């Protein structure tokens, strides 16, 4: 009986300690690691949430870009960070749902992290340099079949979401377009606009200003429905490939063993930010949807996406180094 009581008292003490930590948290700046180079959707979303959470928490939430290895380098670093809630990382469809299917061995495991909250879902868009004589996806596919291997598409890196999305398109359309990996969305955009590559796929955010300026031409969107910001651009599905859908998503995750009360507090703050009118309005023009939600909801979402993308990786035969 004494042993049982001692165990119960210990559990209560741990719970009370965690609650006390959460009540005081945060007492210093919080680092939000972004596992990609500056200039892409990841940074746009991370900085928007970081600012909202800074205002709400009363401590700075600062973004730290740590690109490389399809996000694996940053994921490994954060997985080994002190589980005190002061080092967090932006989870992504690539690092959480795609990489486990593409890499034979990863320097991190799902159990190394705990989901906090889904931040946002970003519409994927397929674009070409205006020099490409294709006004829509059907014309692009016809051109690619006419000259297999003659066109190049860039991505934010080998194994990135944009890479896999384009490989998915290549698989269903049965075309040969050569992949050129870069170290981030920003660098690959430079060559795409300059004409060194002819096509790309990524979240709409970093592409939109260039689309509006006429420097890029959208040929399709990967969402199930057309985007209000690009109403004349057909979806891949309605361009002859029913059921095709691809989008990018981002969410907050933390090292495993961060006390649950701190996770719950961060989740509540993220959800508060996601439902704020100014953040919703900020994201809308880029075809980005703020989501929010609980750790359990985000966990279920990650598992569903991991299952879907594992099948895409298998069928497309995508392999990462």
Q: Which tens digit of pLDDT belongs to each residue from 136-163? A: 999 999 999 999 999 999 998 877 788 8
Arithmetic mean of pLDDT, 245-273: 96
For residue 261, give every residue at least 6 positions away whose Cβ sits within 8 Å of its Cβ, in sequence order, or none.
18, 19, 21, 22, 23
Three-class secondary structure assignment of the chain:
CHHHHHHHHHHHHHHHHHHHHHHHCCCCCEEEEECCCCCCHHHHHHHHHHHHHHHHHCCCEEEEECCCHHHHHHHHHHHCCCCCCCEEEEEEHHHHHHHHHHCCCCCCCHHHEEEEEEEEEEEEEEEECCCCCCCCHHHHHHHHHHCCCCCEEEECCCCCHHHHHHHHHHHHHCCCCEEEECCCHHHHHHHHHHCCCCEEEEEHHHHHHHHHCCCCEEEEECCCCCECCECCCCECHHHCCCCCCCEEEEEEEEECCCCHHHHHHHHHHHHHHHCCHHHHHHHHHHCEEEEECCHHHHHHHHHHHHHHHHHHHHHHCCCCC
- pLDDT at residue number 107: 94
Tokens matching residue 261: 């009360």
Quote the pTM value. 0.77
The CA distances from residue 24 to 5, 27, 261, 284, in Å, are 28, 7, 11, 34
Binned at pLDDT 50, 70 and 90, residue 11 comes out as very low
pLDDT tens-digit readout, 262-315: 999 999 999 999 999 999 999 988 888 899 999 999 999 999 889 888 988 887
- CATH architecture designation of domain 123-239: 3-Layer(aba) Sandwich (3.40)
User: What does the domain layout of the chain look like in residue ranges?
Assistant: 28-121+248-316, 123-239
CATH topology of domain 28-121+248-316: D-Maltodextrin-Binding Protein; domain 2 (3.40.190)
- pLDDT at residue number 9: 54
Rounded to whole angstroms, how far apart are CA atoms 288 and 122? 5
- pLDDT at residue number 7: 54
Rounded to whole angstroms, how far apart are CA atoms 34 and 184? 11
pLDDT tens-digit readout, 100-130: 998 889 999 989 999 999 999 888 999 999 9
Selected residue with higher pLDDT from 14 and 80: 80
Arithmetic mean of pLDDT, 250-254: 98
Residue 229 has pLDDT above 60, yes or no: yes
Fold match flag (28-121+248-316 vs 123-239)? yes
Determine contact, residues 174/155, Cβ cutoff 8 Å. Answer: no
């Amino acid at each position: 009986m004494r042993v049982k009581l001692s165990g119960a008292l210990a559990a209560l003490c741990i719970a009370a300690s965690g609650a006390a930590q959460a009540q005081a948290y945060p007492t210093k700046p919080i680092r939000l690691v972004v596992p990609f180079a500056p200039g892409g959707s990841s940074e746009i979303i991370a900085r928007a949430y970081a600012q909202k959470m800074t205002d709400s928490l009363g401590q700075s939430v600062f973004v730290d870009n740590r690109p490389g290895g399809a996000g694996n380098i940053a994921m490994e670093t954060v997985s080994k960070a002190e589980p005190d809630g002061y080092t967090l990382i932006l989870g992504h469809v690539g690092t959480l749902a795609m990489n486990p299917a593409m890499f034979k061995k990863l320097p991190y495991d799902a159990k190394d992290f705990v989901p906090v909250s889904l931040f946002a879902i970003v519409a994927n868009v397929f674009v070409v340099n205006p020099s490409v004589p294709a006004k829509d996806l059907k014309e692009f596919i016809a051109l690619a079949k006419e000259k297999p291997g003659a066109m190049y598409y860039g991505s934010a890196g080998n194994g990135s979401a944009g890479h896999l999305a384009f490989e998915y398109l290549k698989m269903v359309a049965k075309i040969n377009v050569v992949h050129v990996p870069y170290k981030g969305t920003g660098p690959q955009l430079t060559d795409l606009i300059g004409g060194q590559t002819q096509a790309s796929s990524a979240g709409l955010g970093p592409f939109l200003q260039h689309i509006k300026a006429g420097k890029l031409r959208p040929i399709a969107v990967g969402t199930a429905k057309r985007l209000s910001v690009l109403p004349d651009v057909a979806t891949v599905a309605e361009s002859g490939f029913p059921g095709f859908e691809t989008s990018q998503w981002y969410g907050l995750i933390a090292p495993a063993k961060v006390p649950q009360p701190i996770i719950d507090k961060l989740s509540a703050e993220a959800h508060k930010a996601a439902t704020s009118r100014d953040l919703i309005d900020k994201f809308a023009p880029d075809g980005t949807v703020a989501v929010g939600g609980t750790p359990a909801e985000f966990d279920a979402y990650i598992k569903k996406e991991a299952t879907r993308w594992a099948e895409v990786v298998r069928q497309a035969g995508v392999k990462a180094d």
